[in-house]
């Protein structure tokens, strides 16, 4: 009987470890991107790749990467960014930006 308990215990431990590894992988898959991953998500969006406009909430930017880091990335790419109160609007085109009114 002792062999059954040990065998069952080892099997249960192996199953628990397998479940724990699976849960960790799933957590990583659903984890929100941080830092450079978060910036890449902005600049590799379909709108950005087509030279369009992307908008992000300022609070999200401050939480994820900070305004300075986003500004550096926008400048590095030759894009333009406009602060619109609670939002930041990024024109993903190097063409001149003209604010009408």
Please report the pLDDT score of residue 51 as a whole number.
95
Q: What is the pTM of this model?
A: 0.66
Q: Which residues of the chain have pLDDT under 70?
A: 1-8, 22-23, 25-34
For the chain, give me the number of helices (H) and strands (E)? 5, 3
Please report the pLDDT score of residue 41 as a whole number.
93
Please report the pLDDT score of residue 100 as a whole number.
93
Instruction: Give the model confidence (pLDDT) of 15-38 as tens digits.
Output: 777 777 766 766 655 565 668 999
Cβ-Cβ contacts under 8 Å for 36 (sequence gap 6 or more): none
Please report the pLDDT score of residue 4 as a whole number.
47
Which parts of the chain are beta strand (E)? Answer: 53-57, 80-84, 87-91
How much helix, strand and coil, in percent to the nearest 5, is found in the chain? Answer: 55, 15, 30
Using the CB atoms, write b or e for 36-69: b if 16+ within 10 Å: eebbeebbeeeebeeeeebebeeeebeebbeeee
């Amino acid at each position: 009987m002792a062999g059954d308990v040990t065998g069952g215990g080892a099997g249960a431990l192996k199953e628990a470890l397998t479940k724990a590894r699976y849960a960790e992988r799933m957590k990583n898959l659903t984890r929100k991107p941080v830092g450079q991953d978060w910036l890449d998500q902005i600049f590799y969006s379909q709108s950005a790749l087509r030279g369009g406009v992307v908008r992000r909430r300022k609070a999200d930017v401050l939480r994820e990467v900070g305004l300075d880091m986003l500004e550096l990335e926008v400048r590095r790419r030759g894009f333009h960014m406009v602060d619109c109160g609670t939002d930041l609007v990024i024109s993903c085109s190097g063409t001149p930006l003209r604010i009408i009114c």
